[in-house]
Structure 1
Amino acid sequence: MVQTFTEQSIVSDIVKQFPRSSDLFKAYKIDFCCGGNRPLSEAIAKRGLSPEEILKNLNTLYKEKEAKQHIQIDWDTASSAEVMDHIVQKHHNYLQEELPNLSPYVTKVMKVHGGKQSHLRVVHKLFHDLKTDLEQHTVKEEMEEFPLIKSYEENPTEERLRAIQEGLSDLAMEHSHAGEILHELRRITNDYTPPEGACGTYRLVYNRLEELESDTFEHIHLENNILFPRYMA
């Protein structure tokens, strides 16, 4: 089987191509920041770890990510249940894993560099405001709105439809607020461009914030433009 990453891959290059690999390296206590400019084999040997185990886990994670990105669905013909299941499995699960994993990196960069670069304190606040909003948002969808839509599909009534419309109006406003935070994050980070000489963790945070933005906008698109109009007409 052809592997995307090998023992000769440079650690910092792996994180650049696949930002979420930093979580795996953190778990194995492999330095991808100051000590990232070296082959993975060297970093593994220094920790006395198993190359086979780490490469298997690393490449499996990457292939899972690639597989999710290439799922093709005809949204015009997909049922509402299929749309909602996709949102939960791809976007909610991503947020459930990514938000708590990214949080300590955002805090670390703010603590290390925030004294001289005050905008990082704003980045820290914006990210954690967004984290709280998105966590509450996904719970509301999974516990309230999505089950209500599924029950309406099984037994449509005017009362259920009105309840759905009220709930979706609230969700749409939450989308707008999340979008505002993401736009401000992009503005204040200069389109996620780290300063010259930024350390690996600094670059990692910007890369993963941009990835979070991309996933969230796709998530919002599926709801605002595909799912919600079916019930808001």
Structure 2
Amino acid sequence: METLQTQTVGQIVANDYRAAQVFRNFGLDFCCGGNKTIEEAAVDKNIDPLDVKKALQGLKKNGVEQHNYNQWSLDFLIDYIVNNHHKFTRNKLPEIAAYAHKVAKVHGQRHPELLQINQEFSIMHSEILNHLEKEERILFPYINKLLEAKEKGTKADIDNFGMAADPISMMEEEHDEAGASMAKIRRLSNNFTPPEDACATYRVLFENLAGFEKDLHKHVHLENNILFPKALELERTLH
């Protein structure tokens, strides 16, 4: 039986999403870097692993997570990801991009980091939209085909597709890139902390960036640590 000693950070969050806030409080990556144990993740950040474990153990005293995503069927999880995280991302990307452009134009001379934030977000904006399209047009329909094949007791129709490992690996690499971009924006923005002379739009930009990063972490976690591993395992059972 796996314990906090042997489970990866991603597995811990998959079993109880409340753990995400614990790791977030310690500055530990549970989505793109979710394949590390607590000890490995903590050492990288010069944090005492015992402090992290104590915080996680405290969750058990406060009931259970409202949603156990790890127990959801894959088709339901896919629908949840598309209808919540993909929709949120598509709505927020142009809104934040407009704020970033405006704030950089008005305040960029006094705060040159805003020019870098605007450039970084602009690149990420385009890349994430392409990423969502690939998931919705190619990978997610294939996973649904696997589920249908399992239900019917047949082999999955994989004509012109191959195996899921390659597109999943590509999606994970793109997740890493998006996570790295947001980490850079976090550093440039001093953890999304606006300076004293920041106007209302400036503050709204940073609030939106913080909210976008939080949603991105959950979005990537649901795919990297739950959906993708289970899809690969399902595919193995059908071949």
Specify the TM-score bucket, using the shorter chain as the normaliser: 0.5 to 0.7
Distance 1:106 1:75 in 2: 33
The AA in structure 2 aligned to 1:177 is: E
**Partner residue of 1:79 out of 70, 73, 77:** 73
The AA in structure 2 aligned to 1:112 is: V
Q: What residue number does 1:186 align with? A: 186
1:104 aligns to 2:78 (yes or no): no
For 1:152-171, what aligned pairs fall within 5 Å after superposition?
Answer: 152-155=146-149, 157=155, 160=158, 162-171=162-171
Q: What residue number does 1:148 align with? A: 142
Unaligned stretches of 5+ residues in structure 1: 1-70
Distance 2:126 2:214 in 1: 18
Q: How far apart are 1:153 and its partner, in Å?
A: 1.3
Compared CA separation, residues 219 and 86, structure 1 to 2 (3 A): same
Q: What residue number does 2:108 align with? A: 114
Q: How far apart are 1:135 and its partner, in Å?
A: 0.7
The AA in structure 1 aligned to 2:213 is: E
The AA in structure 1 aligned to 2:115 is: R
Distance 2:143 2:87 in 1: 20
Q: Secondary structure at the match of 1:127?
A: helix
The AA in structure 1 aligned to 2:111 is: Q
Unaligned stretches of 5+ residues in structure 2: 1-64, 234-239
Q: Do 2:96 and 2:205's aligned partners in 1 also have CA atoms closer than 8 Å?
A: yes
Q: Deviations over 1:184-205 (max 9, x none)?
A: 0101110011111210000000
The AA in structure 2 aligned to 1:196 is: E
Q: Deviations over 1:132-171 (max 9, x none)?
A: 1111111111111000100111125477495222111110
For 1:34-45, what aligned pairs fall within 5 Å after superposition?
Answer: none
Q: Do 2:146 and 2:156's aligned partners in 1 also have CA atoms closer than 8 Å?
A: no
1:219 aligns to 2:213 (yes or no): no
The AA in structure 2 aligned to 1:192 is: F
1:199 aligns to 2:193 (yes or no): no
1:134 aligns to 2:128 (yes or no): yes
The AA in structure 1 aligned to 2:176 is: S
Distance 1:223 1:162 in 2: 20
Distance 2:184 2:157 in 1: 39
Using the TM superposition, name which of 83-92 and 130-139 deviates more.
130-139
The AA in structure 2 aligned to 1:150 is: N
What is the alpha-carbon root mean square deviation over aligned residues? Answer: 1.8
Distance 1:117 1:87 in 2: 36
Q: Do 1:165 and 1:231's aligned partners in 2 also have CA atoms closer than 8 Å?
A: no
Q: Do 1:137 and 1:174's aligned partners in 2 also have CA atoms closer than 8 Å?
A: yes
Distance 1:145 1:201 in 2: 38
Distance 1:125 1:80 in 2: 36
Q: What residue number does 2:35 align with? A: none
Q: Do 1:126 and 1:181's aligned partners in 2 also have CA atoms closer than 8 Å?
A: yes
The AA in structure 2 aligned to 1:209 is: L
Sequence identity, in percent? Answer: 34
Distance 1:148 1:222 in 2: 17
Distance 2:188 2:123 in 1: 15
